[in-house]
A and B are shown apart, each in its own frame.
Chain A
Amino acid sequence: MLFNSYVFLFGFLPLALAGYYVMTAFGPRVSALWLILISFVFYGWWNPQFLILFAVSIIFNYTASEGIARLEARPRAQTLALCLAIAANVGALIYYKYLEAIIRCLTGLGLVHGPVVSIALPLGISFFTFTQIGYLIDKKDGLVKERGLFHYILFVSFFPHLIAGPILHNREMMPQLVQPKTYRFSAENLAVGFAIFGFGLVKKTLFADTMLDSVRAGFGHPGTASFNTAWVAVLSYALQIYFDFSGYSDMAIGLARMFNIRFPMNFNSPYKAASVIELWQRWHMTLSRYLALYVYNPLALAVTRGRASRNLAIGRFAQATPGGFASMVVLPTMITMAIAGLWHGAGLQYLIFGLIHGVYLSINHAIRILRPRRADGGEGWLTHPVKVFFTFAATLLGLVFFRSSSVGAALQLLGGMIGLHGFDGLMLPGAVLAHLGDLRVSLLHSGLVQPTSAVGFINAAGGLSWIILLYVIVWCFPNTQQIMYRFEPTLGRVQAGPFAAYLSWRPNLIWAAAAGAALCLGVLAIGGTSEFLYFQF
Chain B
Amino acid sequence: MSLGLDTLRAEPAATPRLPPPVERTATRDALANPADRGAASLSAADERERVARRYLAAFATAFVAFFGLVWIYTALMPMAFLTRDYPVWIAKRSLLSSCDLGSASFFGDSRAMAGMDPRALPFPSSNFALSGSSPIESYFVVKRALLCAHRPKVVVIAYSSGKFIEDDDFWNISARVGILNYADIRDVQRKSAALHDDEIEALRPSDHLAPSVRAALFALRFPPFYFDSLVNGYVAGRYMHNRAAERQVLADRGHAFFGTAPGSDAVAAEALLTFKASPLIDAYFTATLSALAHDKIPVVLMSLPINDATCKLMNPALRAGVARYLASVVAAHPGTRIAGPAMPCWPDRLFGDAFHLNAAGAAAYTRLVDHWLQPEINPVTGSSRVVER
Query: Which of A's residues lie within 8 Å of B, judged by CB?
Result: 1, 5-7, 46, 142-145, 166, 169, 171-172, 175-176, 179, 181-182, 186-191, 194-195, 257, 260-262, 264-266, 268-269, 272-274, 278, 281-282, 285-286, 288-289, 292, 384-385, 388, 475-478, 482, 487-488, 490-495, 497-499, 507-509, 511-513, 515-517, 519-520, 523-535, 537
**Given A260-B32, A498-B10, A527-B226, 16 more contacts at CB 8 Å?**
A7-B208, A143-B22, A166-B16, A176-B31, A186-B52, A188-B51, A195-B59, A262-B30, A285-B13, A475-B4, A509-B58, A512-B61, A515-B59, A516-B65, A517-B62, A524-B224
A-B residue pairs in contact (CB < 8 Å), sample of 25:
A171-B21, A172-B16, A179-B31, A181-B33, A186-B33, A187-B52, A187-B56, A190-B56, A281-B14, A282-B13, A289-B16, A488-B34, A490-B16, A498-B6, A512-B59, A513-B58, A516-B58, A516-B60, A516-B66, A527-B227, A529-B232, A534-B131, A534-B173, A535-B84, A537-B354
Q: Could you say which of A166, A488, A537 has the most chain B C-beta atoms within 10 Å of its C-beta?
A: A537
Please measure, in the bound complex, the distance between the C-alpha atom of A92 and the C-alpha atom of B335, giving whole angstroms.
64
Please measure, in the bound complex, the distance between the C-alpha atom of A272 and the C-alpha atom of B9, giving whole angstroms.
7
CB under 8 Å from chain A, chain B span 227-265: 227-232, 258
Q: Check B147 for interface membership: any CB of A closer than 8 A.
A: no
B131-A492 in contact (CB<8A):
no
Nearest Cβ in chain A — how far from B193, in angstroms? 21
Which 8 pairs across A and B sit closest by C-beta, in order of nearness? A516-B62, A175-B29, A527-B224, A512-B58, A264-B16, A187-B52, A507-B55, A476-B4
Q: Check B295 for interface membership: any CB of A closer than 8 A.
A: no
Please measure, in the bound complex, the distance between the C-alpha atom of A92 and the C-alpha atom of B35, giving whole angstroms.
43
Please measure, in the bound complex, the distance between the C-alpha atom of A235 and the C-alpha atom of B31, giving whole angstroms.
40
Q: Check B18 for interface membership: any CB of A closer than 8 A.
A: yes
Please measure, in the bound complex, the distance between the C-alpha atom of A491 and the C-alpha atom of B29, giving whole angstroms.
12
Q: Check B8 for interface membership: any CB of A closer than 8 A.
A: yes
By a CB distance below 8 angstroms, the chain B residues around A498 are 4, 6-7, 10
Please measure, in the bound complex, the distance between the C-alpha atom of A517 and the C-alpha atom of B269, giving whole angstroms.
42
Residue among B4, B19, B61 making CB contact with A499, cutoff 8 Å: B4
Please measure, in the bound complex, the distance between the C-alpha atom of A77 and the C-alpha atom of B87, giving whole angstroms.
77
A527-B7 in contact (CB<8A):
no
Nearest Cβ in chain A — how far from B331, in angstroms? 33
Query: Which of B's residues lie within 8 Å of A, judged by CB?
Result: 3-19, 21-23, 29-36, 48-49, 51-56, 58-63, 65-67, 70, 83-85, 110, 131-132, 169, 172-173, 207-209, 223-232, 258, 269, 354-355
A385-B8 in contact (CB<8A):
yes
Nearest Cβ in chain A — how far from B44, in angstroms? 12
Nearest Cβ in chain A — how far from B273, in angstroms? 14
By a CB distance below 8 angstroms, the chain B residues around A278 are 12
A181-B354 in contact (CB<8A):
no
A529-B231 in contact (CB<8A):
yes
A497-B7 in contact (CB<8A):
yes
A494-B13 in contact (CB<8A):
yes
Q: A187-B52, A517-B66 are in contact. Are A7 and B209 (CB under 8 A)?
A: yes
Please measure, in the bound complex, the distance between the C-alpha atom of A507 and the C-alpha atom of B34, giving whole angstroms.
15
By a CB distance below 8 angstroms, the chain A residues around B36 are 181
By a CB distance below 8 angstroms, the chain B residues around A190 are 52, 56
CB-based nearest A residue for B1: A499
B49-A186 in contact (CB<8A):
yes
